[in-house]
Amino acid sequence: MRTVTQASASLTARGISKNFSGVRALDGVDIDLPAGRVTALMGENGAGKSTLLKILSGDHLPDAGEIEIGGETVSFQTPFDARSAGLRVIAQEPEIVPHVSVAENIYLGALPSGRLGRVSQRAIEEQARQDLERFGFGHLLDPARLGVELSPAQRQIVEIVRCLIDEPQVICFDEPTSSLSDHETDVLFELIARLRDEGRAVGYVSHRMHEIFRIADTVTVLRDGRLIGSREVTDTTEGEIVKMMVGRDLTSMYDRDRREPGAPALELEDVTTDDVTGVSLTVHHGEVVALAGLVGAGRTELALAIAGDRPVRSGVIKVEGTPRQFGSPREAIAAGIALAPEERKADALVMVRTVRDNIALAVLGSLSRFGFVKARREKDLADRYIEQLHIRTPSAAQLVQNLSGGNQQKVVLARWLARDAGILILDEPTRGVDVGAKAEIYQIIDELASRGVAVLVISSELPEVLGLADRVVVMQNGRVTGELHHTEATEERILTLAIADHLSDEGATS
């Protein structure tokens, strides 16, 4: 194992350019990550942030440009080179080995072994426990769990710990909080502050403005692969940063006119599944209901049960007033329920297929005649959503795996918006999406509601919940702990219901 070195190396990169077969991802970008400071990297979806970090981590070779660490020019041919130079990047989409334990995942490639190279399961689990404890995640993750059993948040924690164990001097985080709940985010921020105080250089990518003001010292903005500028956090404003990112002013993103809701579209009465217990809730036509709660409260599992992908053990689900039992997502979709799942890579996207195929996937039936897909209508549909959601792609024929994270998320949304369903369930719809596109998505949700669609939004971002919802249903530990009308919903009240110890249904009801 490496010994702890006194960290004091800064990173400078000059004139970094990168092309992907005709797509200019980075164009002569200069960036500084000074030691002992947190530098936030911001920009719209597809601006080139992840590409820049992948170049720093040796995942991609730059077409041009130089990188210096602590004054010495370095050149990374592989991620291993970057690692030995003391640089680690915590990936946006962590790779976790499914069938081995958390401990083995953490020490991947550097398994501590005893005499004769024997790896003792007990010993590495113990060491993993200590390392998790050391970084403040001890209570959040059991080192003996298998990779497959981990939630997105836990996968992210594994990735973070994995990168920190060899004491890198320069550490970059690519949207680490997009799958973390508030509590885990707090733990992470404490950790980042500690890393900074130890004199390490920290790079931080996020679309969440309030995080930037909380954790960063400097903000560097990219747009269309170019460096726009850097600002000290102490003498800039949210408005200025947004303007640098999108090139124009953006005003109040949240808030919609609430209307009188129509008839009930989706009613759950005392629904129990393997993960949730006795859930009752109603979504009316023309209404946006937010499902709030901590990560792991059972919201995703509830959504999957409504969409026919998990068995309902007891209770009734009514669609348009009629009790229904769905044996498969196929039946739920036919009944007018659309679910845009939370995990885009695992559950939603066919990465090796094109943007067009992915958008059209759930509506192929209506685009075909006699089983033949009408290529023209399919392309028109895709182009329409590419424009409406500002999906940044050279064409509809681009493979989804070549899109940036936020743009992939928009493809997932496009597929389910195209379904034109009467009941739309969106699980974390704006995860990884930039501010401009978020505003766009809120507008679309509002328009759908005004046309009478019943919308159920699962979101862990409280400002989003408060801005969008007519009503907020709060869950904790697989149960509904309360329901708040938008006039009475505040961050504090939602949080209280989400973390309250007592599981009473009295809470606050409208």
Partner 1 sequence: MTATPVAPTVEGAPPRERGWRRILRAIGVQNLSLVAAIAVLVLVIGSQNSAFYLTSNLKTIGMAVTISGLLAVVQTVVIIMGGIDLSVGSVAGLASVASAMLFTSFGSGVSLIGALAIGAVCGVISGSVVVFGRVTPMIATLAGLIGYKGIAQLVSDGRAQGYTGADPLYVFLARGSVLGIPTLIWILALVAAALHVMLRYTRMGRNIYAVGGNDTAARLSGIDINRYILGVFALAGTVAALAGVLITARTGSGQPVSGSEGLEFQSITAAALGGVALRGGKGSIGGTILAVILLGILLNGMSLLGVNPFWQNIAQGTLLVSAVIIQQLRNGERRVGLPK
Ligand X SMILES: Nc1ncnc2c1ncn2[C@@H]1O[C@H](COP(=O)(O)OP(=O)(O)OP(=O)(O)O)[C@@H](O)[C@H]1O
- What are the residues binding partner 1 (CB under 8 A)? 15, 17, 19, 21-24, 27-28, 59, 63-65, 78-80, 224-225, 307, 309, 328-330, 333-334, 339, 341, 346-353, 357, 360-362, 364-365, 368, 371-373, 375, 386, 390-395, 415
Nearest residue (beta carbon) to ligand X:
406
Note whether 456 and 303 are within 8 A (CB).
Answer: yes
**How far apart (Å, rounded) are the C-alpha atoms in residues 510 and 508?**
7
Q: Which is nearer to partner 1, 62 or 482 (CB)?
A: 62
**How far apart (Å, rounded) are the C-alpha atoms in residues 186 and 119?**
34
Q: Which stretch binds Mg ion (CB under 5 A): 274-282, 349-357, 402-410, 474-482?
A: 402-410
> b/e map of 58-86 (b: 16 or more CB within 10 Å)?
bbbebeebebebbeeebebeebeebbebb
Least distance from ligand X to the Cβ atom of residue 22, Å: 8
Could you tell which of partner 1, ligand X, Mg ion, none binds residue 51, using a CB distance below 5 to 8 A set by kind?
ligand X
Note whether 475 and 299 are within 8 A (CB).
Answer: yes
Could you tell which of ligand X, Mg ion, partner 1, none binds residue 309, using a CB distance below 5 to 8 A set by kind?
partner 1
Note whether 493 and 508 are within 8 A (CB).
Answer: yes
Least distance from ligand X to the Cβ atom of residue 267, Å: 37
Least distance from ligand X to the Cβ atom of residue 11, Å: 18
Task: Kindly state the DSSP code that residue 399 receives in the 8-state scheme.
Answer: B
Residue window 22-51: x/- pattern of binding to Mg ion, with contact defined by CB under 5 A:
----------------------------x-
Provide the 3-class DSSP secondary structure of residue 313.
coil
Q: Which is nearer to partner 1, 57 or 101 (CB)?
A: 57
The yes or no reply on residue 405 touching Mg ion (CB under 5 A) is: yes
The yes or no reply on residue 94 touching Mg ion (CB under 5 A) is: no
Terminal Cα-to-Cα distance of the chain (whole angstroms): 58
Least distance from ligand X to the Cβ atom of residue 413, Å: 13
The two three-digit tokens of residue 347, written as one number: 């559950």
Closest to 438 measured CA to CA, from 197, 209, 185, 214: 209
Q: Which is nearer to partner 1, 176 or 336 (CB)?
A: 336
Could you tell which of partner 1, ligand X, Mg ion, none binds residue 329, using a CB distance below 5 to 8 A set by kind?
partner 1
Note whether 305 and 425 are within 8 A (CB).
Answer: no
Least distance from partner 1 to the Cβ atom of residue 381, Å: 13
Q: Which is nearer to Mg ion, 273 or 404 (CB)?
A: 404
Sequential DSSP letters for 341-367: -S-IIIII--TTSBHHHHHHGGGHHHH
Least distance from partner 1 to the Cβ atom of residue 303, Å: 11
**How far apart (Å, rounded) are the C-alpha atoms in residues 494 and 255?**
18
Q: Which is nearer to partner 1, 35 or 367 (CB)?
A: 367
Q: Which is nearer to Mg ion, 298 or 405 (CB)?
A: 405
- Using CB under 6 A as the criterion, which residues of the chain lie in contact with ligand X when the complex forms? 20, 23, 25, 43, 45-51, 392, 402-407, 432, 434
Give the chain's radius of gyration (CA, Å): 23
Q: Which uninterrupted H or E stretch holds 318?
A: strand 314-319
Note whether 13 and 73 are within 8 A (CB).
Answer: no
Could you tell which of Mg ion, ligand X, partner 1, none binds residue 402, using a CB distance below 5 to 8 A set by kind?
ligand X
Could you tell which of ligand X, Mg ion, partner 1, none binds residue 20, using a CB distance below 5 to 8 A set by kind?
ligand X
Q: Which residues bind Mg ion (CB under 5 A)?
A: 50, 404-405
